[in-house]
Amino acid sequence: MHDGLARPRLRPGHVLLLLALAALGLAVAFMTVGANGRWSFVLPFRGTKLASLLLVACAVATATVLFQTVSGNRILTPAIMGFDELYRLIQTGTVVAAGTGGLGDPRLRFLAETGAMVLFALLLYRWLLSRDERGLHLLLLVGVVCGVLFRSLSQFLQRMLDPNQFVVLQSSFFANFNTVHPELLALAALGLVAAGLGVWRLTGRLDVLLLGRDEAIALGVDHRRTLTLVLVLVAVLVSVSTALVGPVTFLGLLVANLAYRVMPSYRHAVVLPAAALIAAITLVGGQLVLERVFSLNAALSIVIEFLGGLTLLLLLARRAR
């Protein structure tokens, strides 16, 4: 665990402070730089965007770190467990059933989508974790298999859409921070805070989990209960973020691994905030640079996905050497 010898002797608190300052600076710059239009429009508009970026940053970073801790693997992300594909199947099914016109109250849809994704996760966990003490990797693989199943079904439904319906549908396949309903932000924030409180109470037990399953049990942690609890929290976090802006698959991978690198400690009480801050810096900074420097508005999720994927490949290649 302790390869901290070569690291600069910075205290975790200092690193967090630096990250927080950077995030704050970027947030201020994001709100003000290059304003084009009336302030009365720009501030609320950018405020909504900033809030959704921060919400997603916190949710995805926390979910990924938790997930990697319980799975003991740093190249996994919870999004591969079928959440993204379930979300896309729900979107496709809605368009097939109800057409592209009115898609109903956004709040209702948000709740329904979050509910469906959490329910899927709960069913999966309940069924698999009750079978076998060592079922975690099995659980992941079953989640992935369900993802392939969902994708096959969406592909069939998409085949039936006419091209005009398809182009309306496809924009919901990617994360979009520009068009977030402000009323959804409050709902999402509520979900996030609730899950965050749960996570905060668990940090001590999470640190013990890092030692491995048997050690954790020897130290008196109810491994199975903790595992189930953590996975439920992960499901809630991923679902809220996905229902809010759409699927973000590899962002978590990028920020969690950066957080492990910059933090001189493995304690969750500092790694989790660090990952969330790095995610915020990545998203807000990325959006700022893309919008102001390259004047690309919708490319953020795309660039972040590439960066996240690249991180994975680098991680894999580094191990391969």
**Of residues 164-183, which lie at the interface with another protein (CB under 8 A)?**
164-168, 170-174, 176, 178-179, 181
**Residue type at position 39:** W
Burial of 178 (0-12, 13-18, 19+ CB in 10 A): middle
* Residue closer to another protein, measured from CB, 14 or 137: 137
Residues 65 to 84 in contact with another protein, rule: CB under 8 A: 73, 75-77, 80
Type and span of the H or E element at 283? helix 268-288
1, 3, 6, 319: which one binds another protein (CB under 8 A): 319
Residues 218 to 237 in contact with another protein, rule: CB under 8 A: none
Q: Which residue carries 């905060």 as its tokens?
A: 200
Q: Which range, of 18-26, 117-125, 148-156, 209-217, touches another protein by CB under 8 A?
A: 148-156
2, 3, 6, 102: which one binds another protein (CB under 8 A): 102
The residues, ordered by sequence, that sit 6+ positions from 23 with a Cβ below 8 Å of its Cβ are 277, 280, 281, 284
Q: Which range, of 40-48, 185-193, 220-228, 266-274, touches another protein by CB under 8 A?
A: 40-48
Distance separating alpha carbons of residues 258 and 138, to the nearest angstrom = 27
Distance separating alpha carbons of residues 186 and 314, to the nearest angstrom = 37
Q: At how many degrees (to 10) do helices 182-209 and 39-71 cross?
A: 30
* Residue closer to another protein, measured from CB, 152 or 269: 152
Residues 235 to 294 in contact with another protein, rule: CB under 8 A: 249-250
Q: How far is the CB of 11 from another protein (least distance, A)?
A: 31
